[in-house]
Amino acid sequence: MGVEKWKKQSYNKIQKQCIALGKLWEDPLFPPNDGSLALTKTSYSNIVWKRPSELCENPKLFVEKASSKDVTQGSLGNCWFVAACSALATVKPLWKEVVPDYKLQEWDDTERERYAGIFHFRFWRGGSWIDVCVDDKLPTINNQLLFCHSTTENEFWSALLEKAYAKLCGSYGALHGGNLCDALVDFTSGLSEMIELKENGYKTDETARNKLRKQLLRKHEEHALMCCAISARDSSEFEVRTKTGLVVGHAYGITAVQEINLGSTGLLSLFNSTEWNRISLSEKEKLGLTFEEDGEFWMQFEDFVAEFTDLSICHLINTSFFTWRKTWRETFFKGEWTRPNLAGGCPNHESFLQNPQYIFTVPSDDMEIIVQVLQTDKRGSAATYNSIGFHVMKVEENREYRIHTRKKKVVTSDYVNTRSVFFQGTLNKGRHALIPTTFEPNIETGFILRIFAEEYINVVELTEDHPMPMWICAPFCTVPTCVTSIVVTKATQLTQSENTYCIIKVEGESLTSEVVYNSQDPEWNLSGVFFRYNLSKPIFVELWEKKILRDRFLGCAVVTSAADNDTISMKCPLVGKGKNKNDKHPGFIHLQVATYEDLKTL
């Protein structure tokens, strides 16, 4: 996807204009005033906006290189943003995406006349990368940066990145309190997953704990960004330090994950305890296990799951930066929940099917998929996030129109009032419908649907309830008069064949099953939905044997179905077709059929 310029501000154009005029840029859309701050504390009344050159000599965007140890939180309650920055700084290819042309943006002491006081950063929002320009005026008190800053006095990347993100969100105040996952997604276009460590019992459940440990090791190898936190049960706990020194409500970036076998004990450790003393200095250096007073610390995994309550993982899927062990193929949609027909709420409500619907076919059993639903970002506004989720159902193999009757449930996600929901799991072969929803009906907002699969799957939005009129001979047109549902469950007593499949034929349309091998009683459970134009025409269910050169016809069932709204189960003998329609063939076809006059029944 391309890069959009925020409010049409072009970094290159503005930079050239300022150099030509010999002046530093002042951003008219995010000026150095109270509106850009949007803060309530009266202690901020003596804020002065200053450029880096007014704060130190030889200012730099980066000193040496970006590091997770660079970022220090200021007086703004945005530890979630700072933790995300720390995690991002550990993955250089991703970092270069957020800070484009970072070498060209650096101060050049040999060409100071070309410095224009403008920087730009990129964030992923609403399905696109957004390029945000900022001037270099930063809020200070007593000549010190008020908010995010580097541990190195003359390094300013973190302060400028924070300013760009504040501009995107509306103000610095909009960054007070937030969600780790949101920042990670905005930095990477990845898929966020929130894991509740306490609620899921990882402290006491050894099996679950080992599974999570392996997952974190794998995700670290795949350059996933991870952060953790201790949630506060109420406001009195916020900013309280635990016995181990961790701060409740504070976000921590996970910058490394290592697995170490500590000799004969067989103890597997992750992330300071006496066990570390048993590791040689050379091994520590090899693994990057340093213990400096720089804000970074290590923990054993057992302590990690016991101390922290929440873990945020940003999965980096299908990017061009890395070579993955698994290739993912993405499908992307922008949609809206709108009244009266596309805001039905979750499956708890009768109006559930009045939501956007998406259809796709899974080509093989146990195919892994990843689904993310994101609602429109609300940071910086007075609105709160709606509780959202999605539901997946198994549907007829030839379904092409909207669903009006609930089908077999395959997956229902958790419903959470966050910007996005995430699911990773497997689906079996067949046609499926995915329905993203708000929890309550009649909630209107936009959303993005992202589906990743191991193989290519064609995802289509269902927008029509039934076929539109077909023009046969102007000015006459024809419309369906009814709709038929048919399920071919199985065949029995096929004494002369084993490798068989069936074909449903209805008024020129056909639907073919898979071949069932080595069985004289094959089961297919092939389901189809057919819109009818001439109910007097029969339905044919043909049975065929798979052959190397030419498949062999084994007979068919001829079915008529009145529009009586009843489902009828049938055991039909096999007969011939055409001139041989009265011929008898060994075996029976078992099916269920129903026809309805209301085209919105199924």
**CB count in 10 Å sphere of residue 350:** 11
Residue 324 lies in a domain: no
Whether residue 4 contacts residue 130, with contact meaning beta carbons closer than 8 Å, is answered with yes
| Catalytic-labelled residue, pool 143, 210, 261, 272 | 272
Query: In terms of C-beta density within 10 A (0-12 exposed, 13-18 middle, 19 or more buried), how is residue 155 classed?
Result: buried
Residue 56 lies in a domain: yes
Question: What token pair was written down for 135?
Answer: 């001037």
- Quote the pTM value: 0.85
Determine whether 18 is an active site residue. no
Q: What's the total number of domains in the chain?
A: 4
Predicted confidence (pLDDT) per residue in 383-442, tens digit: 789 999 999 999 999 999 999 999 999 999 999 888 999 999 999 999 999 999 999 999
In the chain, how many H helices and how many E strands? 10, 33
Q: Could you tell me whether strands 138-141 and 430-438 are parallel, antiparallel, or unpaired per DSSP bridges?
A: unpaired
Q: Which CATH number covers residue 519?
A: 2.60.40.150
Residue 470 lies in a domain: no
Residue 467 lies in a domain: no
Q: Does residue 154 share a domain with residue 197?
A: no
Q: Does residue 152 share a domain with residue 300?
A: no
- Dist. CA 512–CA 491, nearest whole Å: 14
Give the pLDDT of residue 72.
85
| Catalytic-labelled residue, pool 220, 223, 250, 315 | 250
Final residue before a domain boundary, out of 189, 209, 236:
189
Final residue before a domain boundary, out of 189, 211, 243:
189
Give the pLDDT of residue 271.
47
Question: What token pair was written down for 56?
Answer: 């130190």
Q: Which CATH number covers residue 403?
A: 2.60.120.380
Q: Does residue 39 share a domain with residue 163?
A: yes
Q: Does residue 203 share a domain with residue 348?
A: no
Give the pLDDT of residue 592.
96
Q: Does residue 290 share a domain with residue 392?
A: no
Give the pLDDT of residue 267.
38
Q: Does residue 240 share a domain with residue 261?
A: yes
- Dist. CA 480–CA 531, nearest whole Å: 6
Q: Which CATH number covers residue 239?
A: 3.90.70.10
Give the pLDDT of residue 472.
52
DSSP state of 71: E
Question: Mean pLDDT for the chain?
Answer: 87
What string of DSSP letters covers 192-259?
EEEEETTTTTTTT-HHHHHHHHHHHHHHHHTT-EEEEE---SSGGGTT-B-TTSPBTT-EEEE-----
Residue 266 lies in a domain: yes
- Dist. CA 121–CA 125, nearest whole Å: 13
Predicted confidence (pLDDT) per residue in 478-490, tens digit: 789 999 999 999 9
Which domain does 178 fall in, by range? Answer: 3-189
Determine whether 315 is an active site residue. no
Determine whether 349 is an active site residue. no
Give the pLDDT of residue 91.
78
Q: Does residue 170 share a domain with residue 112?
A: yes
Residue 89 lies in a domain: yes
| Catalytic-labelled residue, pool 18, 79, 228, 572 | 79
User: Cis bond leading into 52, ω under 30°?
Assistant: no
The segments of the chain whose pLDDT lies below 70 read 1, 41-43, 66-69, 261-295, 318-326, 470-477
Q: Does residue 585 share a domain with residue 526?
A: yes
Q: Does residue 83 share a domain with residue 151?
A: yes
- Within 8 A by CB and 6+ apart from 289, the residues are 258, 276, 279, 283, 298
Final residue before a domain boundary, out of 288, 315, 342:
315
- Dist. CA 35–CA 274, nearest whole Å: 51
Q: Does residue 397 share a domain with residue 485?
A: no
Residue 321 lies in a domain: no
- Dist. CA 200–CA 203, nearest whole Å: 9
What is the rounded radius of gyration, in angstroms, for the C-alpha atoms of the chain? Answer: 31
Rounded (10°) CA dihedral 288, 257, 419, 203: -140
Q: Does residue 449 share a domain with residue 411?
A: yes
- Dist. CA 80–CA 583, nearest whole Å: 75
Give the pLDDT of residue 261.
64
Question: Strand locations in 367-427, DSSP E?
Answer: 367-375, 388-394, 408-412, 420-427
Residue 38 lies in a domain: yes
Task: Give, in degrees to the nearest 5, the angle at Cα 220 between 218 and 223.
Answer: 115
Q: Does residue 237 share a domain with residue 201?
A: yes
Predicted confidence (pLDDT) per residue in 340-361, tens digit: 899 999 999 999 999 999 999 9
- Dist. CA 234–CA 389, nearest whole Å: 26
**16-24 LR contacts (CB < 8 Å, sep 24+):** 18/116, 18/117, 18/118, 19/113, 19/114, 19/116, 22/113, 24/51, 24/115, 24/116, 24/117, 24/135, 24/136
